[in-house]
Amino acid sequence: MSKIYYKSLEEIELIRESSLLVSKTLAEVAKIIGPGVTTNQLDKLAYEFINDNGAIPAFLNYNGFPNSLCISPNEQVVHGFPSDYVIKDGDLISVDCGVIKKNYFGDSAYTFSIGIVDDEKQKLVDVTKKCLELGIENAVVGMRIGDIGFAVQQHAEANGFGVVRELVGHGVGVKLHEKPEVPNYGKRGSGPKLEEGMVIAIEPMINAGVAGVRFHSDGWTVTSKDNKPSAHFEHTVAIK
């Protein structure tokens, strides 16, 4: 899909409903996530909750992905498989969730600090969350995609962290990934102009160390190149 798909108010409302269910699913995950819980348990909970609410997990079978959630502990950046991994005190656990409801997608992610995490990890989480907020502040009519990336990059790098470049945000609608791409780096005033009717997922992926990543042979898992922790926050935003 090479061109940007502009949504009607009715379509935006449907995307909002899907996105609300994503938020509610992550809230259910938040209730049980903690030391001693496996990431498979989180995935099972999300699968059942999404289905019980009349929707479909967007990631399940997407290009062959076998689960409802992407769950990425510590040095995993994104696209981690739920497994028998037992969550422990001090972990960072990034949980990415998507749903399809009435043919429209919602997509969001949150990084959980488990118990007492060290200062570097907590700073990383706080900075990445702030990067998302700054990106959203720039996601208004008249700004450009580059303004979002610039805001994210400036805040992350000012705090000594690496901005992942190989993976980016995206449009959301009747497909999980639509145009435009929304990088977490960029120049002010560059890229496509933000216009009413656009819906985008802004998703800073920030590494505690270097910006580089490794793509694993399983075709999905992405880790930081230096195996330092990574954090990921994502929100679906309608431009207005």
Tens of pLDDT along 176-213? 999 999 999 999 999 999 999 999 999 999 999 999 99
Average pLDDT, the chain: 98
2: in domain:
no
66: in domain:
yes
Residue 66: CATH number of its domain: 3.90.230.10
1: in domain:
no
Q: Provide the number of structural domains found in the chain.
A: 1
> Which domain range does residue 111 map to?
9-238
pTM: 0.97
Q: How far apart are CA 114 and CA 161, in angstroms?
A: 21
DSSP labels for 142-199?
Answer: T-BHHHHHHHHHHHHHHTT-EEP-SS-EEE-SSSSSEEEEE-S---TT-SSBP-TT-E
Asked whether residue 2 carries a pLDDT value surpassing 90, the answer given is: no
pLDDT at 1: 43
4: in domain:
no
Q: Are strands 162-163 and 104-113 parallel, antiparallel or unpaired?
A: unpaired
